[in-house]
């Protein structure tokens, strides 16, 4: 884990220096500064990029989907008069396309282990960031936390304004609502992290987690999230368990395509018994179907 520690040290040094980073803004957004500081203070997390959420008027060359410059950008609730003024200024300057955008909170971070990444993603999803996920490449788990509170609409196409002032007001009002929802989710995420640390106190990355009744193997165990417990397999066993599950599904599909006759009971042997758990509302229908196929007799219970 020396590589993780060295990368984390570089990120902390860059944040402490206050020098501009590679983002268009050149620095950390104030609304999430405390959250980012908490994550980087954690021994097993290192943030790599972030945005608290922003409203912008993006100008691009006609027909060009990439690049562009901001005619207006704000990480606070958008202002209608400022947006209108920026739009008029852009129209007077060039025949560029102008797009109104609201983009919600997004954060990427590297974690020491996959278990830490899963815990971080679970906390984010609990707070409303449903599109969060983990990319584990070469034992370097990278987390992306985000949600779907987006908004995008064209204002100017080929130098011609296609959005009326009234429609721009509707877009600004919608962006303000999304900004409020985004801020609430971000605050909820921060509260979840403060209430339930990603790793129980005193437990190191190398120490195995205690096994619970739901544990599937010695390397699996609970993760503390939002006051509850979430079961997640360790990195070394995840692929094997996925392959086993796929194999079982394939076998079940094969049996469904070519059903076998019910087993016959040899003389002097015990009958074959299988326990099935089904929803109560479907228990009667399942029992009737099994009995029709010959899988149940009068002495069996269902």
pLDDT computed for residue 131 by the predictor: 92
Q: Considering the domain boundaries, does residue 24 fall inside one?
A: yes
Domains: count for the chain: 1
Q: Residue 79: what pLDDT?
A: 96
Beta strands in 61-150 (DSSP E): 69-74, 97-103, 106-111, 133-137, 140-146
Which secondary structure element, helix H or strand E, spans residue 157, and what is its range?
Answer: strand 151-157
Model pLDDT, residue 243 = 58
How many Å from the N-terminal Cα to the C-terminal Cα in the chain?
A: 53
- Interatomic CA distance for residues 216 and 214, integer angstroms: 6
Q: Look at residue 115 in the predicted model and tell me its pLDDT.
A: 86
pLDDT for res 27: 76
Q: Residue 120 domain-assigned? A: yes
Tokens standing for residue 186: 């971000």
31 inside domain: yes
Closest CA to 154 of 243, 77, 63: 63
238 lies in some domain: no
Output the pTM of the full model.
0.63
What is the model's pLDDT at position 294?
62
- Over the chain (302 residues), the average pLDDT of each successive run of 10 is 81 76 73 92 90 94 81 95 95 91 95 88 92 80 93 93 96 97 95 76 44 43 42 46 63 67 57 61 67 57 48
Domain at 191, CATH number: 3.30.1960.10
Within-domain flag for 81:
yes
Structure tokens at 288: 């009737």
The reply to whether 36 falls in a domain is: yes
User: In this predicted structure, what is the pLDDT of residue 247?
Assistant: 67
What is the extent of the structural domain holding 74?
2-195
């Amino acid at each position: 884990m020396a590589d993780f520690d060295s990368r984390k040290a570089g990120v902390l040094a860059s944040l402490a220096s206050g020098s501009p980073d590679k983002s268009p803004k050149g620095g950390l957004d104030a609304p999430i500064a405390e959250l980012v500081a908490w994550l980087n203070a954690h021994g097993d997390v290192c943030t790599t990029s972030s945005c608290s959420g922003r409203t912008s008027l993006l100008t691009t060359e006609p027909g060009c989907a990439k690049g562009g410059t901001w005619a207006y950008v704000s990480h606070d609730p958008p202002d209608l008069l400022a947006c209108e003024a920026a739009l008029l200024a852009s129209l007077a300057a060039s025949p560029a396309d102008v797009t109104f955008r609201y983009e919600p909170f997004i954060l990427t971070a590297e974690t020491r282990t996959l278990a830490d990444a899963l815990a971080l993603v679970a906390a984010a999803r609990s707070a409303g960031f449903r599109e969060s996920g983990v990319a584990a490449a070469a034992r370097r788990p990278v987390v992306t936390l985000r949600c779907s509170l987006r908004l995008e609409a064209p204002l100017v196409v080929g130098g011609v304004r296609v959005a009326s002032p009234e429609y721009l007001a509707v877009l600004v009002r919608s962006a303000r609502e999304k900004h409020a929802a985004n801020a609430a989710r971000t605050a909820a995420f921060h509260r979840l992290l403060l209430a339930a640390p990603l790793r129980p106190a005193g437990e190191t990355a190398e120490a195995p987690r205690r096994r619970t009744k739901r544990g599937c193997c010695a390397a699996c165990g609970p993760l503390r999230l939002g006051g509850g417990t979430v079961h997640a397999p360790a990195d070394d066993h995840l692929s094997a368990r996925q392959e086993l599950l796929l194999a079982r599904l394939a076998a079940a599909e094969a049996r469904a395509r070519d059903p076998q006759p019910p087993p016959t009971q040899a003389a002097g042997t015990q009958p074959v018994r299988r326990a099935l758990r089904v929803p109560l509302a479907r228990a009667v229908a399942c029992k009737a179907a099994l009995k029709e196929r010959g899988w149940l007799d009068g002495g069996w219970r269902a």
